[in-house]
Copies of this chain bind each other. A is one copy, B any other.
Amino acid sequence: MPLRHEIAHLSHVELFTPVPEETLAFCRGFLGLTETGRSGDSVFLRAWDDYERTTLKLTARDTAGVGRTNLRAASDAALHRRVAEIEATGRGVGWRDGDPGYGPVYVFHDPDGHELGVYHETEWYRPPPELAPALRNQAQALPGHGIPVRRLDHVNYLGVDVERNRDYLRDVLGALVTEQIVLDDGSVAGSWTTFTNKGYDAVYTRDRTGTAGRLHHLAFAADGRPDILRAADLALDQGIFIETGPHKHAIQQTFFLYVYEPGGNRIELCHAGARLVLAPDWSPVDWTEAERRKGQAWGLQTIESFHTHGTPPVEPTAVSATTPGPTVQR
């Protein structure tokens, strides 16, 4: 049974924030997301062209960080095959009710402890009249405010052991490894994997603090490079912290902008141009330490906080104790 494409795509992700009102305002006013409902401490939000009901589940919590990442299986049969394999790894938690608009989800953890869920049944989003699009092949009318982002793009996890997490996604979920940072000592400091024809859907980069289960960033797809430049202009005048960019990554060649939402989570706005990974037998592109020292595609040096900031935040003292290794730019 070919593993590839058993997971169809990354679905909605849960984000924790200690300042839910401010983060919600950021999501609506800057990202241009639309609220679709609330439940308990959570607000459900969607990007205008995601076909399912939810793109982001925003949950109030003491500290920032990432909650469950949902993955949609390609079919009911694929779902049950994946669940069987997950259970065999001993990392399964069990079936849970899905979020509103979603069928049952099987919850499990990656080796680093990030919570994941896999499901198949879903409800196609039907907009209310005031959000109806003019064209029938579009999920929702284009919002007139914010960027607005088109869809979720990828999640970048911090991981204590990148290789173990990468192998889990590849061997159990069928992800294709597309690019990697391979240090001079042979260890892998970053791994980009995909379930689709996009260059990447899920990424692990080494957590130098040695803390498990953290988030490096969550990324949304903008519809073009110009939207990302405009996002930077909007961020400037809306008082949103720009960490780095707009610029172009060497890895995956993504055009990017990194900001922090008010709760502290790093958010990327990204655009891949017309780049796709179409080769079914793509071999990972391995980047060396020397290559990473050249910085981003056009020579911008990787910002220092890119190696230190993650959510939840950890004490900086932890960093020095656990990262004697080389400094490599992601």
Interface on A for B, CB 8 Å cutoff?
Answer: 2, 4-5, 8-9, 29-30, 49, 51, 72, 74-75, 133-138, 141-142, 144-146, 150-151, 153, 179, 196-198, 221-227, 229-230, 232-239, 242, 244-248, 250-253, 255, 271-276, 278-282, 285, 287, 291, 297-300
Contacts and interface: CB of A to CB of B under 8 A. Distances in A.
A51 B234 CA distance: 19
Contacts of A255: 229
10 contacts: A2-B75, A30-B144, A135-B253, A137-B285, A142-B233, A144-B237, A225-B229, A232-B248, A244-B299, A271-B274
A86 to B, nearest CB: 19
Contacts of A29: 144
A252 to B, nearest CB: 7
A113 to B, nearest CB: 27
Identical chains bound together, number: 4
A248 to B, nearest CB: 7
Contact of A150 (B245, B252, B275): B275
Contact of A226 (B142, B225, B236, B252): B225
A173 to B, nearest CB: 14
B75 A280 contact: yes
A201 to B, nearest CB: 10
A274 B272 contact: yes
Given A135-B250, A137-B253, 16 more contacts: A9-B280, A72-B280, A75-B280, A133-B237, A135-B297, A136-B291, A137-B250, A141-B238, A142-B237, A151-B274, A151-B276, A197-B198, A223-B274, A229-B248, A235-B298, A247-B247
B135 A234 contact: no
Contacts of A30: 144
B236 A135 contact: yes
A226 to B, nearest CB: 3
Nearest to A48: B237
Contacts of A151: 274, 276
A224 B226 contact: yes
Contacts of A244: 299
Nearest to A5: B5
Contacts of A4: 5, 74
A136 B287 contact: yes
B179 A299 contact: no
Contacts of A298: 232, 235-236, 242, 245-246
A49 B237 CA distance: 13
B144 A238 contact: yes
A25 to B, nearest CB: 11
A20 to B, nearest CB: 20
A138 B251 CA distance: 10
